[in-house]
Each structure stands twice: as structure tokens, then as C-alpha cells.
Structure 1
Amino acid sequence: MSKAYVFTRNGGPEVEALVDRDMPTPGPGELLVAVRAAGVNPVDWKLRKGYTRPGSVPQPFPTVFGSEAAGVVEAIGPGVGGFAIGDEVFGNPVAGGYAEHTLLPVAVTAHKPAGISFADAAVLPVAAATAYDGVRQLGLAPGATLLVTGAGGGVGSAAVQLAQHAGVRVIGVASASKKAFVESLGAVHVEPGGGLADRVRALAPGGIDAVFDLAGGDTLREAALLLADPAALISAGDKQLVAELGGAPVERARTAAVLVAVAGLVVAGALRTHVTGTYPLSAAGEALRAVEDGHALGKTVIEVTV
């Protein structure tokens, strides 16, 4: 048997539970991985509440939480090459990472570099990879100015760093409580709320070249006012609204090559994961509350002890 943190139906925290389940069996193109760490993301609680990804197949209940994990290969499915039992890996699970064991598809799995901890590797497949895809999608030239909303979160903090690594000036939108954190990343901090566009204009009289949104809602609406060309507006926070405003959702690559690239940036020191909260699997609910309440800085991780 193997423990996993699940939701038994759509709803609030009351539908969550830590359960015992049969050991997963890897199918073609899959790896059975003993999880050492799993990243916690807003999409985790959104799925519990009933959100479905466009084009996705609904998972049967109980559903294991988590869409990014790192661990050690314990078994290999048919047709898998390039991996061996005992390899340290990270990637996007087939069905849930808040668990002692999970299945990783080799198409979105990479070897963990020796210089990266399991906790750091576990937060790369969703947050850092989304930031990487979005910054590449914008394709800003050095010297351009980028506005990042939700700059204090996992994707936002990675986007700030990756844009700066490309020579782009960044203004980060985040609550007052996250000001010091956003400024530690090298961004200029600005608070959200009414009058956001005017505050940003005061900080960037030369204008904003692009917006990378991770907040959605009213923050996205006001940020869009800063752009002459709505094509320079992308969002991973509100895909429907960004389309209505003339922008586009972040185009996710979801490949092992992207995972290799972001891990390389961590090794090179160009990207820090900023894991600011760690919880054992037995306290997975507390980890999820920290993210769901919107107060978490950087990334939150569930660590699974051997």
C-alpha cells in the first residue's frame, strides 16, 4: 500500500483525506517514482472545487492532489528508455503528486541535476516551466519593461527572475506584505487595487511593453489598460478574460526539454526557486490552505520522508 492525499468529491477542504491505496503500476512510457517532494499550486485547490482543464479527461474519485513532483525511480514501464531504477527525476505526474508513490510520463520527466534538492526540483514542472514558457512567448528584447501581476507567487517570482535574466526591466504587482520579497527579486514593487494603471505609469513614464498576468480579474483588466497592443498581454491567471481583452493565455510547451532548461537555469544561479514553506505529507491539508488562502510567498512544498 502507498499513502496519498486526495479529494473524494468536488467541494471545500472537508472533502480532503489522507488515504492508503494500492501501489501504482507504470504503463507504457511511464515511471513509478517514490516521491520525495511535491509542489503545491493554486490549480490543486481549483480542481478540488470543480475546475476542469480544457480538453482534459476527468479523473475518477478519489483524486490525488498535485501536478508536480520529484523522486526516485522504482519501476519502469514498457518501452521506456533513458531512465533506470534509482534515477532521481522530476516531472508532471499522471495522476497526483501528493503521495508516497506516483507515475511520471517520460514525455514530461527529466533527470534531477545533482546540485538541486528534491524540494527545488519539485517546484519546477508547473511554476517555473509556466514562467519560462510565458517569457519566451512574449519574446521581449533587452531593455523592455514588463509588468508581472501576482509577482509574489510561485509562477510570478520565477517570471520576474527569468525576464530579468533576459535583460528586461520588471515591475511586479503584489500585496504590501510581499513588497520586500518582490524587491529582493530585483523588481520594482507596486500594489494592486484601484488606480493600479496610474501607479504603474508613474513608475514607467516610458510605457509598459508587455504584461504577464497571474492574478486575473480586476487586476488583469486594469493592467490591460497600460498596453497599446493587446497582443502583448498574456495570462496564466484568467484565460477567458485575457482572450476577451485581446490577449492570449500562456502557451504551455509541457516537454521534458523545458524541464531540462529550467533546471539548468537553477544550477547556473539564474533562477532561485524560493521554496518558503515545507510540510510533511501528513500535513498536506495545511500546505494546501497556505496556498489557497493566498498568503504564501514563493513556493510551498510537501516533503515525503523515506
Structure 2
Amino acid sequence: MARRWVATDFGGLDVFRAVEVDVPPPGPGEVTIEVRAAGMNPADHKHVAAGTDRSLLPVPVGYEVAGVVSALGPGTTLASGGGAVGDEVLAFRVVGGYATALTVPARDVFAKPASLGFPEAANLLLAGATAAEMLHVTTVAPGETVLLHGASGAVGVSVLQQARLLGARVVGTCGPGRDDVVRRFGGEPVRYGDGLAERVRALAPHGVAAALDAVGTDEAVDVSLALVADRARVVTIAARDRAEREGFPMIGGAMPASRAFRDAARARLVALAASGDLVVPVARTFPFDQAREALELLSSGHPGGKLALVP
């Protein structure tokens, strides 16, 4: 038996419960992982808050984990090759990652870089793949200057690092006290709020080639559209209504094109983490039983870095 967090209804954090579940033995092409850390992302609770299809209840929570292989199905190899009981691994995209153990498709399991702790490894791929797709969709190229909204958040920090590897310059919005985070990962901080467009123009007098929105506010969208002439080079992960209404790209993990790109990007992101070129700042870990408290901090929008549940 294992323990797993599920949402027993749609709504707030009070619907989350820890339950006991059977962990099926792995069949061909499957791996059982003893979870050492479960990554936490805003999507973990947002889809529960917005859900309406009650036939899906209870909803397993969590999309990425890191841990140790406890069993392999017959003839099974990991997505990164090889694989044996006792190997340290990370996995994305999984169903029900807030668990002490789970069986998942081997195609979603990669050897964990030795340089990453379990909490960092469990938080690498969802934010990292989202960031990679934002840069891909907006065709950011070496030497270009781009505007990034939400530069000190989890997706933003990954964008900063990946853009630096591309050779692009990033002007990134952040709140008070977060300038050092943006600078640490290669960006140039700019305060959001009234007058944002003018402050960006002062930092980038020759203009910005693209705008990446990781926050979804009207300010972020308005400033992006004001500064970037080509709407194909403005992307959001949060302002769906504005994107549909005003004709610029929206990406999301449930969209087929996004899913395909992000799955294909995983091996490269793991390699970047292994080489030290992509790091995952973890602000805090929580005991497994404190998932609701961790989700409350996560939903505040200001966790200060990634969070992880540690069974």
C-alpha cells in the first residue's frame, strides 16, 4: 500500500485528502518508483479549483516526482536508457505524483542527475519544459532582447537560464525584493506596476523582439502588445481569454502541440541540469502530511522558489 493525496471534490484546499491506495506491479514498459520528493506546481490545485466533471473524482494530484526505482516491468528500459532497481530517477508527466510510491510509464522516467537533490529533480521538468516552449514559440534568437513577465517565479527563472544559454538578453518584471533573483539567473530586473512600458523602453531603447507572459495579468498583456509589433512573438501561459480575443499564442500542457514539444524537450533539460547549466531553486520542503499547508503557500503566488513534498 502507498499513500496518495487526492481531491475528493472540486473547490478549495479543504477538498484534498490523503488516502491509502494499492500500487500495481509494473507491467512491460512500466516502472514503480519509491517517491523521495513530489514536485509542486500551481497547476496542481488550479485544475481542482476549476473542475466541473464529477465523473473524474477523486482526482489524483501532482505531475512530477523524483525517487528510487523499486521495480521494473519485464523488458523495460527508462526513457534515458537502462534502468535497475535502486536507480535514482525523476519522472514527468505522471498522474498522482503526491504519493509515497507509484507505477508510471517508463517513457516518462529519466535517470536523476547526481548533482540534483530529490526536491530539485522533482521540480525540474514541468517549469523547465514550459519555459523552453515559451522561447520556442516566440522564436527567440541570439542577440535579441525579450521581455519576460514574472521573471522571479519558477517558470521565469527557467526562462532566464535557457535564454542566457541561447545568447538572448532578458528584461524581466518582478516585485520588490526580487531583483537579486532575476540578476542571479542572467536577467535585468524591472519593477511591474504603473509606468512599466516606459521603464522597459528606457532599458531597451531599440525595442524588444518578443514578450513572454508567465503571470497572466492585464498589465502584462497590455505592455506586451504595446511593445511587440508581431503578435506571433507574444506568448502567455495564463491569459487564455486575452490570447483568444486578441490573437496571440497561448500555450498549456494539456494542448496537443504543447504536450508534444514538452515531452520531446525533457531529455535535453535533464542534460542541462546534469551539466549545471539549469538549476532549480527550492524555497522549502514540506512533510508529506502537510500538503494542504504547502498548497496554501503555493497558491499565495509568492512561495519564493519551488516547493516539494517529502514522504
By the TM > 0.5 criterion, same fold? yes
CA apart distance, 1:87: 2.3
CA apart distance, 1:300: 1.2
Stretch of structure 1 that moved more, 267-276 or 253-262: 253-262
Among 242, 265, 273, the alignment partner of 1:266 is 273
C-alpha distance in 1 between matches for 2:54 and 2:306: 26
Contact residue 24 and residue 101 of structure 1 kept, 8 A: no
CA apart distance, 1:137: 3.0
Contact residue 62 and residue 94 of structure 2 kept, 8 A: no
The reply to whether residue 242 of structure 1 matches residue 243 of structure 2 is yes
Among 65, 69, 87, the alignment partner of 2:65 is 69
Match of 2:222, as an amino acid? R
The reply to whether residue 20 of structure 1 matches residue 16 of structure 2 is no
CA 27–198 in structure 1, closer or farther in 2 if over 3 Å, else same: farther
Contact residue 64 and residue 94 of structure 2 kept, 8 A: no
Match of 2:152, as an amino acid? G
Q: Secondary structure at the match of 2:178?
A: helix
Q: Secondary structure at the match of 1:170?
A: strand
User: Match for residue 45 of structure 1?
Assistant: 45
What CA deviation, in whole Å up to 9, does each residue of 1:4-32 have, x standing for no partner?
12211001111112222222444553322
CA 256–111 in structure 1, closer or farther in 2 if over 3 Å, else same: farther
Residue pairs, 1:224-243, within 5 angstroms: 224-243=225-244
CA 212–83 in structure 1, closer or farther in 2 if over 3 Å, else same: same
User: Match for residue 310 of structure 2?
Assistant: 303
Contact residue 70 and residue 118 of structure 1 kept, 8 A: yes
Q: Secondary structure at the match of 2:155?
A: helix
C-alpha distance in 1 between matches for 2:306 and 2:223: 26
CA 178–58 in structure 1, closer or farther in 2 if over 3 Å, else same: farther
CA 21–230 in structure 1, closer or farther in 2 if over 3 Å, else same: same
Match of 1:62, as an amino acid? P
CA 213–51 in structure 1, closer or farther in 2 if over 3 Å, else same: farther
Residue pairs, 1:94-173, within 5 angstroms: 94-173=94-173
Stretch of structure 1 that moved more, 40-49 or 107-116: 107-116
Among 269, 275, 283, the alignment partner of 2:282 is 275
CA apart distance, 1:51: 4.5
| RMSD (CA atoms) | 2.2
C-alpha distance in 2 between matches for 1:69 and 1:254: 20
CA 249–296 in structure 1, closer or farther in 2 if over 3 Å, else same: same
Q: How many residues align?
A: 300
Contact residue 130 and residue 262 of structure 2 kept, 8 A: no
Identity of aligned residues (%): 38
Q: Secondary structure at the match of 1:177?
A: coil
C-alpha distance in 2 between matches for 1:78 and 1:240: 46
Unaligned runs of 5+ in 2: 252-257
The reply to whether residue 285 of structure 1 matches residue 292 of structure 2 is yes
C-alpha distance in 2 between matches for 1:264 and 1:58: 40
C-alpha distance in 2 between matches for 1:254 and 1:285: 31
CA apart distance, 1:232: 0.5
Q: Secondary structure at the match of 1:31?
A: strand
CA 175–75 in structure 1, closer or farther in 2 if over 3 Å, else same: same
Residue pairs, 1:157-236, within 5 angstroms: 157-218=157-218, 219-236=220-237
Unaligned runs of 5+ in 1: none
CA 28–194 in structure 1, closer or farther in 2 if over 3 Å, else same: farther
Match of 2:298, as an amino acid? V
CA apart distance, 1:244: 2.8
Runs ≥4 residues deviating over 6 A: none
What CA deviation, in whole Å up to 9, does each residue of 1:204-254 have, x standing for no partner?
111011111111131223322210101101122223422433221233435
CA apart distance, 1:258: 2.2
Contact residue 124 and residue 259 of structure 1 kept, 8 A: no
C-alpha distance in 1 between matches for 2:193 and 2:55: 37
CA 157–59 in structure 1, closer or farther in 2 if over 3 Å, else same: farther
Contact residue 8 and residue 17 of structure 1 kept, 8 A: yes
The reply to whether residue 87 of structure 1 matches residue 83 of structure 2 is no
Contact residue 68 and residue 122 of structure 1 kept, 8 A: yes
C-alpha distance in 1 between matches for 2:223 and 2:7: 35
Match of 1:132, as an amino acid? A
Contact residue 91 and residue 108 of structure 2 kept, 8 A: yes
CA apart distance, 1:93: 4.7
